[in-house]
Amino acid sequence: MVNDRQSLDLTTFALVQGGGEVEWRISAAPVPYPEAVTEMESRAADIADQKTAELVWLLEHPPLYTSGTSGKEGDLLDPRFPLFTTGRGGQLTYHGPGQRVAYVMLDLKRRRPDVRAYVAGLEEWIIRTLDAFNVRGERREDRVGVWVRRPDKGAGYEDKIAAIGVRLRRWVSFHGIAINVEPELAHFSAIVPCGVADPRYGVTSLVDLGLPVTMEDVDVALRQAFEDVFGATTARLPEATA
């Protein structure tokens, strides 16, 4: 069943009162998770105080697991990588090389103070990004993230290709999304991803779907789709190498 978030009007997210272009940052080297969280929290505070511009930060992490506010102890089946407890929404997920993480720090008070609509906006951003590669991503009412149908695996089978986990502080968002480009999918087997244990629902990536795209290809599509949903961006030069 398609979630009724699909019916929300998302165009208002591009309207920023008294704001400018969103800074677009790409880190070339893997960023340790604690370092990323510290940076996000600091930047979100400055955005709330209107001291700096909003930010989208694209990066990869070294292999690790994170547990959100709904995380359950039993969802970690094999502690093969470090586990970080985090304040974002959602349950347990994996991050690692080959996965494009996008941390999104937007001032929703100046845009649209509606958490449900914001999550729908992030979903729409992912769906439009995937569409650039002729992949149909879909929302689901009973499952978080963006999913693709897998009739090749059997009737009713679907795989998750992108995760969403957000947190707000003073109406500024942080954390964000993760799209599987070419991660090691076997690493997801050590957890119950986002609490979904049904064998019909697995995890996939663009490369797993037979699309040999690069991270740079995905970054270009992400930026175009972001601007369609949320508005203009400006690149940070030189790009960060955190």
Identify the pLDDT of residue 181: 98
Residue 59 pLDDT exceeds 60? yes
Identify the pLDDT of residue 3: 45
Render pLDDT for 106-120 as a digit per residue (tens, 0 to 9). Answer: 999 999 999 989 999
Identify the pLDDT of residue 242: 44
Q: Compute the Cα dihedral for 44, 132, 63, 197 and give only its sign.
A: positive
Task: Give the C-alpha separation, 224 to 226, whole Å.
Answer: 5
Mean pLDDT for the chain?
88
Known catalytic membership, residue 42: no
Instruction: Give 51's strand partners.
Output: none
pLDDT band of 24, cuts 50, 70, 90: very high
Average pLDDT over residues 92-113: 95
Considering only CA atoms, which of 77, 78, 63, 68 is closest in space to residue 31?
Answer: 63
Identify the pLDDT of residue 141: 80
Identify the pLDDT of residue 91: 79
The string over 198-227, giving b where at least 16 C-beta atoms fall within 10 Å of a residue's C-beta and e elsewhere, is eeebbbbbbbbbeeebebeebbebbbebbb
Render pLDDT for 32-52 as a digit per residue (tens, 0 to 9). Answer: 999 999 999 999 999 999 999
- Which of 77-86, 87-96, 149-158, 188-197 reaches the highest mean pLDDT? 149-158
Residue 204, classed as helix, strand or coil, is coil
Q: Compute the Cα dihedral for 16, 69, 35, 125 and give only its sign.
A: negative
Residue 43, H or E segment: helix 33-48
Bigger pLDDT: 116 or 18? 116
Q: Name the catalytic one among 194, 196, 209, 222.
A: 194
Identify the pLDDT of residue 228: 92
